[in-house]
């Protein structure tokens, strides 16, 4: 954990030092690194027999959690929208 925090803080320090320079290429590097990390994560998941054997259960739970998260978000947004509209109509 200490290593992660140290790496992040060193990145912040480098960012502060390079703040005046235009680093337009950095976004491409970040995208490539994210795709590489996702690819390596896929290799790790694919090589884990326990995950592959429980994939149907994990997939079903993921769909269930995702569905209820979306439903909950829609309900919360509807309540917030109605509350905000009623508040604006009063004024």
Q: Which residue from 79, 29, 43, 3 is spatially nearest to 71, judged by alpha carbons?
A: 79
Give pLDDT, residue 35: 97
Looking at residue 90, its pLDDT comes to: 62
Residue the block writes with tokens 């309540």:
79
pTM over 0.85: no
CA distance 16 to 19: 5
Q: Name the token pair of 50.
A: 């326990």
> What does the pLDDT profile of the chain (91 residues) look like in tens digits?
899 999 999 999 998 998 888 888 889 999 999 999 999 999 998 899 888 888 888 888 999 999 999 999 999 999 999 888 776 766 5
């Amino acid at each position: 954990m200490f290593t992660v925090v140290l790496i992040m803080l060193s990145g912040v320090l480098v960012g502060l030092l390079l703040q005046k320079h235009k680093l337009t290429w950095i976004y491409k590097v970040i995208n490539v690194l994210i795709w590489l990390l996702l690819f390596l994560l896929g290799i790790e998941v694919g090589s884990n027999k326990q995950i592959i054997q429980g994939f149907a259960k994990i997939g079903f739970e993921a769909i269930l959690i995702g569905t209820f998260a979306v439903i909950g978000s829609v309900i919360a947004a509807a309540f917030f929208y109605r509350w905000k509209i009623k508040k604006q109509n009063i004024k």
